[in-house]
Structure 1
């Protein structure tokens, strides 16, 4: 299997794991403050990743150089997760996942600004198709809502979180200096925990942790292990092997994965017209996967 193929497989797994955070997050968004649940998931994920690094004997001295890099990346991802949970207070999981599919379009633009990565015509077409499918789902297949640009408050809040996520991808590539995915991910998680601990301390202190429903703790564990530690590693692994726009293209699968999660949790499926938008996002992914890789920098170059 080629390096690029491994990167694609990593992002396929990434999209499935991320989708679970939308459905589970939607169940608990109104049970706990966004900063509090994000801080705990980062802290737990850092412990898990720290154990992986320690057991694997992968500590790298060079990873300690320029620690400000981790603060930048940790702040970006912390912003994404906090705004995600804030948005899920009112946005349906499938709709929020559709907003997430706008990330590749933003990542392509930021990839050019930060890394001068070129978006080919076919890639641009795929991004446009995916964005159209995402908008169709966001506006719930309602032309009147679309023409009136009636976007829910939750979707707007989450959009800015997705912008932070889109910036994270090229910034990770820009700031990585050859550290292994696990070691670099640990640095980002620790930095994110520090940022959230300082910024969200009032919410963390005010949370009645002992009184939280069991589903909140199940969600926290899932987010920490699968949707944080695992996806951080998968995202970095793929980012160092694929252009930013292609990495984020796998977010187009997220609404479809969320639909599977929603059905599994007994929450039902959206109406058929909305499913057409999901079909467009899948078509965009397939078109992107056929595209030739755009010129990109060597991994670790800054």
Structure 2
């Protein structure tokens, strides 16, 4: 039984979109310094190194991890191996505008995956909430001018982002199917490290294929080092921890609506760091997105 919203739950679900907004910006900035699949592997390798001192006990033979290896192999595949790898890959050929638009489909994927594979019913309120939330995202993307949408051109990166949105929906629903030891669900470092341990295998295989099949290269330097530090600690460790706790509190079908705060946070970051002042449509978009969340979460 999912809990009702509390201030703590709202913070848990708002922090990941804030960090992921920065992740998209940073990923685009360093797209020429490191191959996308390798970037995903390096970010999770750094997260693994950071978490081992706090939760390395879960890797021991008698910890209980290996009894649930299939579950964590799936969590590692969809959450660690696929989602951000596909996002970084999308940013190689697509614009941040298009990538964010494709990611706004996550609430719909959440409802669809839950209905198809997890026997969850979809209410009329959730459908209305999805429409309101996506409308808010579109309003941000078109900067309040609907004619801007007519100028969008879909490329291969947009398809990658749609697949990434599906992967994130599956990952979020898998989080609710808890079979691991009860103490792991309250120990975020142990639960996340167990996912990363298997996710590194998947992302390592993807990265190896990237180096074998393409002319991949890395431009080492302080810009890349600083970017890796950010994506490895913020959007990876902290965001995934908060998302996991938030999903277990309210369910993925409701939590999915919070992902549509990402483009709004990106717009606010532009205002803060790039001198682009907020416009009236930012306020209208915020009202639509929050309205969608409230509508979908009403009991």
Contact 1:87 1:154 in 2 (8 A): yes
TM-score by length of 1: 0.81
Contact 1:100 1:159 in 2 (8 A): yes
1:107 to 106, 110, 113: 110
Instruction: Determine whether 1:283 maps to 2:288.
Output: yes
Deviation at 1:193, TM superposition (A): 0.8
Give 1:183's aligned residue: 190
Deviations 1:118-168 (CA, angstroms, capped at 9, x unpaired): 333222111012223334555676756756974344333222211111111
The 1:217–1:204 alpha-carbon spacing in structure 2 relative to 1, beyond 3 Å, is: farther
Instruction: Determine whether 1:164 maps to 2:197.
Output: no
- For 2:290 and 2:117, how far apart are their aligned partners in 1? 23
Instruction: Determine whether 1:34 maps to 2:36.
Output: yes
Secondary structure at the aligned position of 2:199 is classed as helix
Contact 1:122 1:288 in 2 (8 A): no
Contact 1:86 1:154 in 2 (8 A): yes
2:71 to 69, 72, 80: 69
Contact 2:91 2:157 in 1 (8 A): yes
Deviation at 1:202, TM superposition (A): 4.6
Deviation at 1:10, TM superposition (A): 0.5
Equivalent residues in 2 for 1:53-202, closer than 5 Å = 53-54=55-56, 61-77=63-79, 78-135=81-138, 146=149, 150-177=153-180, 178=182, 179-180=184-185, 181-202=188-209
Aligned CA-pair RMSD: 3.2
Secondary structure at the aligned position of 1:126 is classed as helix
- For 2:148 and 2:268, how far apart are their aligned partners in 1? 26
TM-score by length of 2: 0.82
- For 2:268 and 2:85, how far apart are their aligned partners in 1? 24
- For 1:64 and 1:81, how far apart are their aligned partners in 2? 25
Give 1:297's aligned residue: none
1:227 to 219, 222, 235: 235
Contact 1:95 1:137 in 2 (8 A): no
- For 2:151 and 2:272, how far apart are their aligned partners in 1? 34
- For 2:53 and 2:62, how far apart are their aligned partners in 1? 14
- For 2:192 and 2:35, how far apart are their aligned partners in 1? 25
Secondary structure at the aligned position of 1:262 is classed as helix
- For 1:187 and 1:161, how far apart are their aligned partners in 2? 21
The number of aligned residues is 288
Which consecutive unaligned segments of at least 5 residues does structure 2 have?
A: none
- For 1:184 and 1:237, how far apart are their aligned partners in 2? 10
Give 1:266's aligned residue: 274
- For 1:64 and 1:23, how far apart are their aligned partners in 2? 37
Secondary structure at the aligned position of 1:174 is classed as coil
